[in-house]
Chain A
């Protein structure tokens, strides 16, 4: 089964500092990996994805993620954090061809990112 793990429940970063939110994956075959952000009482907003190609993926709001096959990781990064980046971040992996059609996503437990002014 496809799975992702987010080892940190919470990450605290000072505004203006770089941030990293960690994600590792366990998959059969090539991984389809995603990052989403969720603000309180809201749905999920797509940030970026890796399917194939360059290992460094650039996404929305200045976020990027680095796919590392040898370490089975897909960490989310941003060079300079903003207070408005404070939210709940989910790493997700595409489930693998179970339905004969579209596949769902399996999410990590989520990481609370807190940016301190």
Chain B
């Protein structure tokens, strides 16, 4: 089983709202990732967690706040977003940290009004 689940599938929020995206995997993977994909563009890395510790932050604005409460769960907290933050947010996980395959969830389609 290589399933990564993400909730919600769709999210509409105003610029003053606070919301959270959730990602879950039960494959025992120790690395988890957030990517952002704008329309007609490739995914771009935002954050990497290795063994529940934040290891990479790709200079993402502080209005995006990741959290890894345990090895199976990854959250992305959103606050005061801008319309240009509207995108598909993809979560992925991999077994370890040595270049193993990353398995992606279906994504959360976010619209910021």
Q: Are A99 and B42 in contact (CB under 8 A)?
A: no
A102 with B42: CB separation less than 8 A = no
Interface residues on B, range: 35 or more
State the main secondary structure of chain B at its contact with A.
Answer: strand
Is B22 an interface residue, CB under 8 A from the partner? no
Inside 8 A of A74's CB, which chain B residues have their CB?
none
A100 contacts B43, CB within 8 Å? Answer: no
Please, which residue of chain A has its CB at the minimum distance from the CB of B94?
Answer: A102
How close is B24's CB to chain A, nearest CB, in angstroms? Answer: 14
| A74: min CB distance to chain B, Å | 15
In this assembly, does A8 line the interface, its C-beta being within 8 Å of a C-beta of chain B? no
Residues of A contacting B106 in the complex (Cβ-Cβ under 8 angstroms):
42-43
Residues on A lying within 8 angstroms of B by beta carbon are 32, 34, 36, 41-46, 49, 51, 90, 94-95, 98-110
23 A-B residue pairs with CB within 8 Å: A34-B101, A41-B88, A43-B104, A44-B43, A44-B90, A44-B92, A44-B104, A45-B104, A46-B102, A46-B103, A90-B43, A94-B99, A99-B55, A100-B50, A100-B55, A101-B51, A101-B55, A102-B49, A102-B96, A103-B99, A104-B33, A104-B35, A105-B45
